[in-house]
Amino acid sequence: MTKSMFLLWATGSETDWNDRLRVRLTALASSPGIERIQLNVTDAAVADAMLRLSTFDAPVSAVVSVWSESAGAAAAVGAELEALSERVAGYEVSETIALAPPQTPRGERADALTNIALLRRPAELEQDEWLRRWQGDHTQVAIDVQGTFGYIQNVVTRACTASAPPVDGIVEEHFPMAALQDPHAFYGSAGDNAELARRLTMMTDSIEKFGADRNIDVIPTSCYVF
């Protein structure tokens, strides 16, 4: 099974584009060779998110994940996405599910703030060391000090669209909706300011070690599975 992830930039009205995208992905999910499609989209439900970072001139509007029997089946979906979007950047990835989020009925919005983070490996770290620090050292820290109930890591193995910008890792984290604006909900600190400070310090120290404190995109999204 191949997993591909496509970054999308909207064209025209965001609301109209979101609706057209969901309708098209619903149809594409039944295409030959496609096992599953997931849409993570910035929309009104997450518009007030307190954490939103972008390295691009225009922020990413959506991320579409495709699980397929072959790279060719995923590429066919990518071509459809290019016809719908201002811009598309696609990547094949190797997925690690560190904490599986609850299943949601197909086509329904997950009851979560789902953050997608785009990581770039610092030049001073070799690939193996970067992965050790991220997937080996950081994983449990991220789960322990945040209010997440879903945590998925995707290591980029290759770009699969022309001129895709450099991205080395893609993280998917599921938080309670209260985490949109409440740091205690985001970090799971239950209203305790001292505990919030402790968790924030641990998280900051950990992400600095593999370069996720810089050159990073954080895209707050609503999540749908088709």
Rounded CA separation 91/7 (Å)? 9
Q: What is the pLDDT of residue 142?
A: 97
| Residue 12 banded pLDDT, cuts 50, 70, 90 | confident
The fraction of the chain above a pLDDT of 90, given in percent, is 96
Q: What is the mean pLDDT of residues 139-149?
A: 97
HEC assignment per residue over the chain: CEEEEEEEECCCCHHHHHHHHHHHHHHHCCCCCEEEEEEEECCHHHCCCCCCECCCCCCCCEEEEEEECCHHHHHHHHHHHHHHCCEEEEEEEEEEEEECCCCCCCCCCCCCEEEEEEECCCCCCCHHHHHHHHHHHHHHHHHHHCCCCEEEEEEEEEECCCCCCCCCEEEEEEECHHHHCCHHHHHCCCCCHHHHHHHHHHHHHHHHHCCCCCCCEEEEEEEEEC
pTM over 0.85: yes
Q: What is the pLDDT of residue 71?
A: 87
Q: What is the pLDDT of residue 13?
A: 86
Q: What is the pLDDT of residue 102?
A: 96
Q: What phi and psi values does residue 45 have, to the nearest 5 degrees? A: -65, -25
Check if the beta carbon of residue 92 is closer than 8 Å to that of residue 156: yes
Q: Which domain holds residue 197?
A: 2-225
| Among candidate residues 37, 57, 95, the one with its CA nearest the CA of residue 224 | 37
Q: What is the pLDDT of residue 27?
A: 94
| Residue 14 banded pLDDT, cuts 50, 70, 90 | confident
| Residue 15 banded pLDDT, cuts 50, 70, 90 | confident
CATH number (domain holding residue 56): 3.30.70.100
Q: What is the pLDDT of residue 43?
A: 96
Q: How many domains does the chain have?
A: 1
Q: Sign (positive/negative) of CA torsion 204, 170, 100, 184?
A: positive
- What does pLDDT average to over the chain? 96
Whether 34 has a pLDDT exceeding 90, the answer reads yes
Check if the beta carbon of residue 17 is closer than 8 Å to that of residue 81: no
Q: What is the mean pLDDT of residues 72-98?
A: 96
